[in-house]
């Protein structure tokens, strides 16, 4: 005995010993059991704290579809004022499922795998409104392997699903614009390859399809730009301003001929500012360039005509001056003098 306190279970039983009344005393050391009970109580308190205060819904349910316990977060998620109200009102879990086959699928998966992770489904709330939830659960068995209950965690993913739906609509809208636009639309990598081009872009450059253009063009600077300095100028402007408008330059058609395009583009960067890719659009301005060249030629020819007319007028003006008339008379007099000699 070292004076250390311990837990004991005392058993007293009267009996006769040598014709005298006696008490049989048995002392059991139950310190280990008490410590185990205390540890269990602490664990239960800890679990209860998590259960009551968790932001996620937590539940236990019977295999036939009735809730054994639900936490406050799950009750609020489903539109109930308290977990007690939910337990007394929500009688059949299968009725929560918008898709009735979902409950059977859930049970099939958990029976086959012992657990499910991220099982997404639509669920009815108390007021009849519909939310999306993600459910992770496992089957709990006794020592003999008999199924006791399911326990799981529920996340309300309605907002995420709404964002995903909006994104799909936006992507479909963008894809429609991308596929049907008259302008060429592209996305290219900093190292000079096309990540994606639309049908109009492929047609402008003479390719049979967007896929063919992306496969064949492996070096934009060499295969597209007639003047490689234009590519360097493009990249410098992008580095300085992240965007260019009405950038005009000569390019090669797939058949080798040269034509002109006007391009709008911007640089797409990540949160750290690292360049990810370029995206933009272009139009064929060859006809406009040809018309501009023809107009410039006409202007040059007109300028020549104007210069010639101006010189003629200047000569005529000189002829009409008194000085020129006197000079012409003097020349005529000299000519007559020479003839008389």
How far is it, in rounded angstroms, from Cα 119 to Cα 136? 6
What does the longest C-alpha to C-alpha distance in the chain come to?
198
Give me the pLDDT at residue 164, please.
94
- Above 60 in pLDDT, residue 13? yes
Instruction: Please give the pLDDT value at position 299.
Output: 73
Joined together, the tokens standing for residue 201 give 């872009």
Q: What is the pLDDT of residues 70-116, one digit of tens each?
A: 999 999 999 999 989 999 987 789 999 999 899 999 999 999 999 99
Q: Quick: pLDDT tens for 293-318.
A: 787 777 777 776 666 767 766 666 66
pLDDT of residue 225: 97
What is residue 77's predicted lDDT score, i.e. its pLDDT?
94
Among residues 36, 55, 273, 302, which one has the least CA distance to residue 156? 55
pLDDT at residue 186, as a whole number = 97
Section 50-76 average pLDDT: 90
Determine contact, residues 178/161, Cβ cutoff 8 Å.
Answer: no
CA–CA dist 61, 147 (Å, integer): 11
Phi, psi of 277 (to 5 degrees): -170, 170
In the chain, what is the straight-line distance between the N-terminal and C-terminal CA atoms, in Å?
Answer: 170
Band of pLDDT at residue 323, cut at 50, 70 and 90: low
Q: What is the mean pLDDT of the chain?
A: 87
138 conformational bin, left if phi > 0, alpha if psi -120 to 50, beta if neither: beta
Alpha-carbon Rg of the chain, whole angstroms? 46
CA 321/CA 325 separation, integer angstroms = 6
Is 189:207 a contact under the CB 8 Å cutoff? no
Instruction: Quickly list H helices, 62-219.
Output: 72-77, 83-89, 101-113, 158-180, 199-204, 210-216
Q: Which of 293, 238, 296 is nearest to 269 (CA)?
A: 238
Q: Can you say whether residue 277 is alpha, beta or left, with left for phi > 0 and alpha for psi between -120 and 50 degrees?
A: beta
**3-state DSSP of 33-60:** HHHHHHHHHHHHHHHHHHHHHCCCEEEE
In which band, very low, low, confident or very high, does the pLDDT at 337 lie, cut at 50, 70 and 90?
Answer: low
Question: What does the pLDDT read at residue 47?
Answer: 66
């Amino acid at each position: 005995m070292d004076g250390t306190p311990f837990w004991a279970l005392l058993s007293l039983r009267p009996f006769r010993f040598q014709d005298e009344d006696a008490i049989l005393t048995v002392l059991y050391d139950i310190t280990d059991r008490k410590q185990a009970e205390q540890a269990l109580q602490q664990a239960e308190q800890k679990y209860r704290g998590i259960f009551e205060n968790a932001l996620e819904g937590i539940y236990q349910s019977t295999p036939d579809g009735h809730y054994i316990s639900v936490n406050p977060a799950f009750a609020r998620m489903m539109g109930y004022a308290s977990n007690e109200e939910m337990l007394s009102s929500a009688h059949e879990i299968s009725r929560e499922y918008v898709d009735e086959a979902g409950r059977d699928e859930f049970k099939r998966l958990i029976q086959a795998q012992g657990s499910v992770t991220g099982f997404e489904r639509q669920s009815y709330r108390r007021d009849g409104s519909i939310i999306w939830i993600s459910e992770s659960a496992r089957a709990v068995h006794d020592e003999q392997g008999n199924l006791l209950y399911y326990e799981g965690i529920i996340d309300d993913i309605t907002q995420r699903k709404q964002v995903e739906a909006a994104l799909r609509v936006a992507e479909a809208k963008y894809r429609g614009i991308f596929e049907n636009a008259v302008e060429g639309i592209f996305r290219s990598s900093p190292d000079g390859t096309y990540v994606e081009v639309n049908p109009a872009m492929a047609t402008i450059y003479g390719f049979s399809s967007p896929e063919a253009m992306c496969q064949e063009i492996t070096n934009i600077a060499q295969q597209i730009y007639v003047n490689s300095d234009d590519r360097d100028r493009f990249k410098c402007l992008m580095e300085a301003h992240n965007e260019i408008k009405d950038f005009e330059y000569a390019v090669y058609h797939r058949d080798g001929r040269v034509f002109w395009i006007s391009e709008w583009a911007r640089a797409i960067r990540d949160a750290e500012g690292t360049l990810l890719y370029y995206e933009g659009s272009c139009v064929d301005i060859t006809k406009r360039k040809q018309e501009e060249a023809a107009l410039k030629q006409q202007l040059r020819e007109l300028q020549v005509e104007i210069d010639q007319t101006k010189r003629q007028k200047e000569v005529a003006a000189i002829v009409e001056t008194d000085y020129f008339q006197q000079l012409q008379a003097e020349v005529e007099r000299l000519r007559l003098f020479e003839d008389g000699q």
